[in-house]
Amino acid sequence: MMLIKLAWRNLWRNKRRTWITISSVLFAVLLALFLESMDRGSQEVMVQNVVRFSTGYAQLQDTLYFDEPHIDNAMHCDDACMEKVVADFPNIAYTVPRLESVALAAGDEKTRVAFITGINYEVEHRFNEIGERLRQGDFFTGREDEVVIGTGLAQSLDLGIGDSLVVFGQGFQGAMAAGKFLVVGLVQHPVPDLNERMVFMPLPQAQKLFDAENRLNHLKLVPHQLRHHQRVVDAINEHPGYEELQAYTWEELQPELVKTIEFDQAGTLMFLLILYIVIGFGIFGTILTMTLEREKEFGVLISVGMQRHKLAQVIFTETLFMNFMGVILGVLTAIPLLLYFYFNPISLGEGMENMMAEYGMEAVLRFSLDPQFFYQQAIIVFGISMLIVSYPVVRVFRLNVLNAARK
């Protein structure tokens, strides 16, 4: 206890030196958190834009559908089935049904291969705010023969609001799928390739078109906490009442996206390693200066009878206090800064707006507030700081008392 009191008092004998050391740790934590938050933010936006408009965070399918994604392997799931899924698994907030298939779409003179998607507009909008991407017309008006198509497909087929779209393809188990529909809206889909092919229609209308009553290609599962999607998938796959169905996470359904994120994380890790090296040398320079300035003090203390290991304990405790305060102040400084950038993303400028808009993204740098990286970076910087403490401790044990006392 006495050594702790002595260490605390030593800190404030030279306030300037103490605050310089604390500041070096503070800015190290701040820089690490800023870089990690910016990287995590960009990854979260990437996942949201791809996952929300395609697979969802978790998905329920027929056991055959994953290997053979064809409408013939669509699962039987009516309203009662969807309600049962939510009731059986409390972690699920709601479900998003979809029936999808490929068909030939034609205007007056041109034809294109289209991706026909039957949706429940209310829950679809709740999940991905698809209604916000409507550019003309309405998102369904209540008619039985209406569709909303992508702006790219509309341009390719020379179609506008009020024009007719003819669809021809194959339905469930070889049934003919053909119909004539009224275009009531144009939507800008965030995925460019799908924007060139997408046709939305009400789910009951799509089931009728493909002769697939009460059938779905998949049922998106939306957890109360999106990061808990793996728990939802594991619970369903372990449940004995769902043996004919299989649940998947977006990581299993989007392996290319996972690899893209891993590549991005590898690049960020390289930057962080460089940053950690700079941080380490910065803190070491501060500790080195502090140690050299106090060598005479150390020599006098040892010459009057203080044991070297006790002096080393005092120095270790001093540095422990400074590093701990630096980490805490760094986190406390980073929180309001990252909160500001979270709600006010950094604009990338007008030149990037058109390019980013093609991918349904804003030309801004998003920041993340994931609590995980806060304590991760704090622990890493604290560990680097404590590793550097070995220098003054070793210096004390190797100190030449006579030479130090003469300084």
Predicted confidence (pLDDT) per residue in 297-356, tens digit: 777 777 777 777 787 787 788 888 888 888 899 889 999 999 998 888 777 666 555 555
Among 325, 326, 316, 328, which Cα is nearest to 392's? 316
The domains of the chain are located at 2-50+257-406, 58-253
Euclidean distance between CA atoms 26 and 329, whole angstroms = 6
Euclidean distance between CA atoms 389 and 312, whole angstroms = 10
Tell me how crowded residue 6 is: count the other CB atoms within 10 A of its CB. 16
Enter the DSSP assignment of 109. S
Chain segment 182-230, per-residue pLDDT in tens:
999 999 887 777 888 999 999 999 999 999 999 999 999 999 888 888 9
Euclidean distance between CA atoms 249 and 44, whole angstroms = 16
> Number of helices (H) and strands (E), helices first, in the chain?
16, 14
Q: What is the pLDDT of residue 349?
A: 62
Q: What is the dihedral of CA 338, 342, 344, 350, to 10 degrees?
A: 110
Q: What is the pLDDT of residue 357?
A: 55
Helix-, strand-, coil-residue percentages of the chain, each rounded to 5: 60, 20, 20
Q: What is the pLDDT of residue 407?
A: 57
- Please provide the average confidence, as pLDDT, over all residues in the chain: 84
Per DSSP (E only), the strands in 9-74 are 58-62
Q: Tens-of-pLDDT digits for all 407 residues of the chain?
A: 777 787 788 778 778 878 888 888 888 888 888 888 888 887 777 777 778 888 888 999 999 999 888 899 999 998 899 999 999 999 999 999 999 999 999 988 889 999 999 999 999 999 988 888 899 999 888 888 899 999 999 999 999 999 999 999 999 988 889 999 999 999 988 777 788 899 999 999 999 999 999 999 999 999 988 888 899 999 999 998 898 899 999 889 888 878 887 887 787 788 888 878 877 887 777 777 777 777 777 777 777 777 777 877 877 888 888 888 888 998 899 999 999 988 887 776 665 555 555 555 555 678 888 888 888 888 888 888 888 877 777 777 777 666 666 65
Euclidean distance between CA atoms 220 and 55, whole angstroms = 7
Within 13 Å of residue 52, how many CA atoms lie on the same side as its CB?
19
- With a CB cutoff of 8 Å and minimum separation 6, the contacts of 184 are 137, 138, 139, 140, 141, 143, 146, 147, 148, 161
**Burial label, 33 (beta-carbon count in 10 A; 0-12, 13-18, 19+):** buried
Q: What is the pLDDT of residue 147?
A: 95
Among 251, 273, 214, which Cα is nearest to 35's? 273
Q: What is the pLDDT of residue 89?
A: 93
Among 164, 172, 168, 112, which Cα is nearest to 143's? 164
Q: What is the dihedral of CA 145, 70, 98, 133, to 10 degrees?
A: -80
Q: What is the pLDDT of residue 218?
A: 92
Euclidean distance between CA atoms 21 and 140, whole angstroms = 63
